[in-house]
Structure 1
Amino acid sequence: MSSFSDSDLLLQRFYGHVDKRGGDVYLTQPFGGGAVVDYSFAEVFDQAARMAAHIESLGFEPQSKIAIISKNCAHFIMAELAIWMAGHVTVALYPTLNEGTARYILDHSDSRLLFVGKLDTWPELEPAVPEDLPCIAFPLAPKTSFTTWDEITAKTEPVAGKPTRAADDESLIIYTSGSTGTPKGVLHSFRTISVPTKGLIKQLGLSQNERQLSYLPLAHAMDRWLSGCVSLSIGSHVFFAESLETFVKDLNRARPTLFLSVPRLWLKFQLGVYAKLPKKKLDLLLKIPFIRGKVKKKVLTTLGLDNVRIAGSGSAPIPAELIQWYRDLGLELLEGYGMSENFNYSHLTRPGLGRAGYIGNTYDDVDCRLSDAGEILVKSPGTMVGYYKAEELTKAAFTDDGYLKTGDRGSIDEKGRLKITGRVKELFKTSKGKYVAPAPIENILNNDPSVELSLVSGSGMPMTHAVLQLSEELLPTLDQPGVKDRITAQLEQLLAHANSEIESFEVLGFLVVAKDRWTIEDGQLTPTMKIKRATIEEMYGPKQDAWYASKSKVIWED
């Protein structure tokens, strides 16, 4: 394990950049209408110090919980710094939560103050906020009656000096995104977020010259680590996205050197390329030596990724074929594996040492083993303090010798690289008595350009089946003559291909094209776009018998 001292803690690292590079731009925030504001390290420190002084004046007991509900924006980073400088603990809520979940988290976390930020669904969320909970509105917040950030910082003098926090002080609580039941509050200390940050920086050779675009939810551990903790530690330049509609513009403004995404978005980028340059034509061009390089550069430039030197994927398994597609373009996707419970600090693909279908190796100071049942067990310096107010759940999350039970099943190759083979609790048994792991089959289906997401099911049935979401690019064409017949034929070929890749007891009987889209707002996806398996299976449960009885290979949901 590498040496660690108080100078490696995130507040101390940030203060170092303020002292040495105060005038350099740290955060770049679009405000709409073409307006973009740069905030230097000194300006971010000044804003945070003024808000910290205001929080101190409220007289909360040390390490009180203070909540933020906002899409990614510069003031999210400033607010977290202010909360830490005032001696308290951040609780970030996903901006896409429904009212009931938001109310639960605000109550369970004992939040004493709420920062309300950039939101699309404030009317739905507002009833979740207790009437007696003080609130402060960010500059990009929807119109509210709350006191604003700017009003407070304009009249408040900065807190004295540069307050620091002890390594074992509580730093933040991350509420799990709830793909299985009630969210749990994952409590971290400054040590358990700072040590992984230092380890990632060392492993990837990151420097202050990095540029990154923050658009994945900061309420999730993955971007909180990369856009939040890593930027505070190395002093990189963080750009924020304005909206989904301006994403390409935002990406081109940032021209990131470090870019992280999730499998679903990496697939959407690929489908966007295919929409402009059909797969067969692109494959042909990439085989012609004297134009191959120009084609690769043009594709990456179109995506806004031509300056990326480190690209990562996390949050869910990514098909090996998709990783290879990007490698063929000259962009090596490094897969990371981890959980909120170990602050994502578990496994990472080593540049040049990746193996298709495998996550990669542990970090140098992480240990991993498999249980007798094949469950991945991890011991990491990023391991949580525990689940907030849930002693029994915390105890159940660990082995007797201190390894975190990940709930994932896996295998490890001769070079120590980890492969995820599914979730322990996702296994289901068909009527033939064989257990099926759905995730590997879903990866095969999701790798097809016509499929955006899939769910494999069939508990207690004679064979499995899959429900599919077609790629968004296909949706506008479905009413055109002959399109559905063409897609049906393609999906029949996909069904045959998938069945040739899996065991006989896993064979898919049919594919179902879902009528409605699965969304975060309607509860079928988590905020990080993972499928909520139980919710989706319950949706389609009443239709299963009719699907099996139809004997069709491809079914279009009525």
Structure 2
Amino acid sequence: MHRFVHLEGTQPEAIYFTQPYPDGSVVDYSWREVGNQARRMAAYLRSLQLPPASAIAIVGKNSAHWIMADLAIWMAGHVSVPLYSTMGTQMARYIFEHCEPRLLFVGKLDGKTDGWNEIRMAIPEGMPLVGLPMSPVSGARDVPQWDEITARSEPIQDIHQPEPGDLATIIYTSGTTGAPKGVMHSFGGMMAYALGAGEFCRMTPRDRMLSYLPLAHAAERAFVEANSLCHGVHVYFSDSLETFAQDLQRARPTLFISMPRLWTKFYGAVCARLPLRKQKLLFALPIVSGLFRKKILRLLGLDAVRIAFTGSAPLAPEITGWYRSLGLELLDVYGMSEDFCWSHYSRPGLVRMGYSGQTLPGVERRIDDNGEILIKSITGMMGYYKQPELTAQCMTADGFFRTGDRGEVDEIGRLKITGRVKDIFKTSKGKYIAPAPIENQLTHPMVEAVCVAGAAQDQPFALAMLSVDGRKQLLDLQGKLTLTAELETMLEHVNAALEKHEKLDYLVVVNELWSADNGFLTPTMKIRRNAIEERYVSKVAQWAAAGAKVVFDR
């Protein structure tokens, strides 16, 4: 909050947010305007005379007013609780009951590409709502609207100035299993992240970011919100999936973070227009090569990127190598909600395929006897909200957090994630299988997600969800034959490096999309292993009887 007030005063006319709207208009919000609107909403929140440090929730897709609402909550002396826009009724109800928010900001939602129709069923009766611009409750007679409130409220000047140890936010983990946990973070921890990330990335107010990953997740909250508030970075937003390419071109970010899924889509889109064979020919021409590489990045909207990050899952080596050939080195990162994503970053020039880089300043790491990664970070959480016993279980006696991830470290300290401690399963032969290391090797440009299963089976097997382009390829007979052959080759190559009991019996190309909406993926696109295994367990015998190395689910 101190940094925002400083930037609000020192660069008031600089543009902080650029927000596209569904009607095609684009609005710029200066630091002065952002501060003015947030202060007016903070005045309204104070008028409600809520108890100090009350929980106030925000649900909605990323938008300028999402962050303005967050600022207003803090200015009024309260605690923000972001909710995923894709969550279902059960999870939303749990969070409302668990943290008991006194008010809910309802932001940009449509009920079609998000979970609004499910979330609204969980809103406690009588809970006050405030509609942000582009909200589905806009125009509702009994719901106060952001624009109406700010128009009639005077901006407060005596905003709440928190101490470093004060609770700032409760971030609920997306959770691959069980109920979500409320991760508590302090203002001091968030500031420590922003100072460290700012130094790592050499951030200045001239930098630009595109905000499109969920602000309800620690990664986007840290990389975009915390960094922009601390360093004055210009933040652009995306209106929709359909306008994403246009929004990215408008932003031309200098700092960009994404997940393997999007990096793969970018790669696939370029290869669909210009096959790799032709790319290699052009790359080999001395005069044309440099211009051609820059043209590809410009078409993607990534030509101004000077630092690019990838994380949450492995990216196929050939795709990483392709970006590197364009002059864009993807830095793999590793972090969690519990450490506000300040743990491990790859360093430029020291990237090693399959590794997540070295510890960051203020981070200590050790590997426990069972292979579990233990982390102590300057950005570490205050604990799990209302769950002191669980907090104690997740911490060692000397203050290290038990990540639940298994890993190993190379000779210069780069970390490799080798799986989850609890994900190991046993085959009918009594052999234990760690699925994640095998999944990490099953990389193909047309495969978006993989789940290795096989508990109580003779041998493990793999389930694969294809990308949109991969699904299109199946519609053409020759395309399907080519893809089948490629997947068989991949399976053969992976099996050659595995122990006998680990070798995959077959690979199943699933027929349905895995998404956060249907519960097969978390909002951050990690697989929900239990849900996937439960969905397909009835078909295992049928697949095994087929006798094929690549099976297409029907």
TM-score (norm 1): 0.96
What amino acid sits opposite 1:139 in the alignment? P
Residue 181 (structure 1) aligned to one of 175, 178, 182: 178
Change beyond 3 A, Cα 1:324–1:485: closer
Indicate if the aligned counterparts of 1:317 and 1:420 stay in contact, CA closer than 8 A.
no
Indicate if the aligned counterparts of 1:324 and 1:356 stay in contact, CA closer than 8 A.
no
Give 2:310's aligned residue: 313
The alpha carbon displacement at 1:97 in A equals 0.7
Asked if 1:381 corresponds to 2:388, the answer is: no
**Cα shift readout 1:114-141 (whole Å, capped 9, x = no counterpart):** 0000012233321111121000000110
The alpha carbon displacement at 1:327 in A equals 1.2
Give 2:460's aligned residue: 464
The alpha carbon displacement at 1:551 in A equals 1.8
The alpha carbon displacement at 1:368 in A equals 0.3
Moved more, 249-258 or 116-125: 116-125
**Cα shift readout 1:208-261 (whole Å, capped 9, x = no counterpart):** 111000000000000001110000000010000000000000000000000000
- 3-state SS of paired residue (1:426): coil
Residue 71 (structure 1) aligned to one of 61, 66, 84: 61
What amino acid sits opposite 2:447 in the alignment? V
Identity %: 51
The alpha carbon displacement at 1:285 in A equals 2.6
Indicate if the aligned counterparts of 1:209 and 1:237 stay in contact, CA closer than 8 A.
yes
Asked if 1:37 corresponds to 2:37, the answer is: no
Give 1:258's aligned residue: 255
Q: Give the Cα separation in 1 of the matches to 2:403 and 2:461.
A: 27
Residue 287 (structure 1) aligned to one of 272, 284, 287: 284
Q: Give the Cα separation in 1 of the matches to 2:250 and 2:225.
A: 19
- 3-state SS of paired residue (1:468): strand
TM-score (norm 2): 0.96
Give 1:479's aligned residue: 475
Indicate if the aligned counterparts of 1:75 and 1:138 stay in contact, CA closer than 8 A.
yes
Give 1:544's aligned residue: 540
**Cα shift readout 1:341-360 (whole Å, capped 9, x = no counterpart):** 01011111111122121111
Give 1:557's aligned residue: 553
**Cα shift readout 1:81-130 (whole Å, capped 9, x = no counterpart):** 00001000000000001112111111111100000000122333211111
**Cα shift readout 1:273-311 (whole Å, capped 9, x = no counterpart):** 111111222233323333221221111111110000010
Unpaired runs of 5+ in structure 1? Answer: 1-10
Q: Give the Cα separation in 2 of the matches to 1:159 and 1:331.
A: 45
The alpha carbon displacement at 1:74 in A equals 0.2
- 3-state SS of paired residue (1:425): coil
The alpha carbon displacement at 1:162 in A equals 4.1
- 3-state SS of paired residue (1:188): strand
What amino acid sits opposite 1:258 in the alignment? L
Change beyond 3 A, Cα 1:118–1:196: same
Residue 215 (structure 1) aligned to one of 199, 212, 216: 212
Q: Give the Cα separation in 1 of the matches to 2:288 and 2:431.
A: 50
Asked if 1:123 corresponds to 2:117, the answer is: yes
Residue 54 (structure 1) aligned to one of 44, 50, 53: 44
Residue 412 (structure 2) aligned to one of 401, 410, 415: 415
Residue 512 (structure 1) aligned to one of 489, 508, 514: 508
Indicate if the aligned counterparts of 1:186 and 1:386 stay in contact, CA closer than 8 A.
yes
Q: Give the Cα separation in 1 of the matches to 2:469 and 2:20.
A: 28
Q: Give the Cα separation in 1 of the matches to 2:478 and 2:272.
A: 19
Give 2:97's aligned residue: 107
- 3-state SS of paired residue (2:180): coil
Residue 270 (structure 1) aligned to one of 261, 267, 272: 267
Moved more, 105-114 or 64-73: 105-114
Aligned Cα RMSD in Å? 1.4
Moved more, 350-359 or 536-545: 350-359
What amino acid sits opposite 2:186 in the alignment? S
Asked if 1:534 corresponds to 2:533, the answer is: no
Moved more, 122-131 or 284-293: 284-293
Moved more, 495-504 or 74-83: 495-504
**Cα shift readout 1:424-482 (whole Å, capped 9, x = no counterpart):** 1112222343332222222222x212212111111222211111112211323433344
Moved more, 257-266 or 214-223: 257-266
- 3-state SS of paired residue (2:422): helix
The alpha carbon displacement at 1:488 in A equals 2.1
Matches within 5 A, 1:358-373: 358-373=355-370
Q: Give the Cα separation in 2 of the matches to 1:501 and 1:543.
A: 27
Residue 245 (structure 1) aligned to one of 242, 245, 255: 242
Indicate if the aligned counterparts of 2:316 and 2:444 stay in contact, CA closer than 8 A.
no
Moved more, 180-189 or 276-285: 276-285
Indicate if the aligned counterparts of 2:76 and 2:159 stay in contact, CA closer than 8 A.
no
**Cα shift readout 1:55-75 (whole Å, capped 9, x = no counterpart):** 011111111100000100000
- 3-state SS of paired residue (2:548): coil
Indicate if the aligned counterparts of 2:447 and 2:470 stay in contact, CA closer than 8 A.
no
Indicate if the aligned counterparts of 2:374 and 2:401 stay in contact, CA closer than 8 A.
yes
Q: Give the Cα separation in 1 of the matches to 2:279 and 2:431.
A: 41
Give 1:200's aligned residue: 197
Q: Give the Cα separation in 2 of the matches to 1:96 and 1:323.
A: 29
Change beyond 3 A, Cα 1:109–1:153: same
Give 1:393's aligned residue: 390
The alpha carbon displacement at 1:205 in A equals 1.3
- 3-state SS of paired residue (2:491): helix
What amino acid sits opposite 2:133 in the alignment? P
Give 1:8's aligned residue: none
Asked if 1:495 corresponds to 2:496, the answer is: no
What amino acid sits opposite 2:50 in the alignment? F
Q: Give the Cα separation in 2 of the matches to 1:201 and 1:62.
A: 31
Residue 168 (structure 2) aligned to one of 167, 171, 179: 171
Change beyond 3 A, Cα 1:287–1:429: farther
Give 2:350's aligned residue: 353
The alpha carbon displacement at 1:549 in A equals 2.4
Between the two proteins, the alignment pairs up a number of residues equal to 547
- 3-state SS of paired residue (1:142): coil
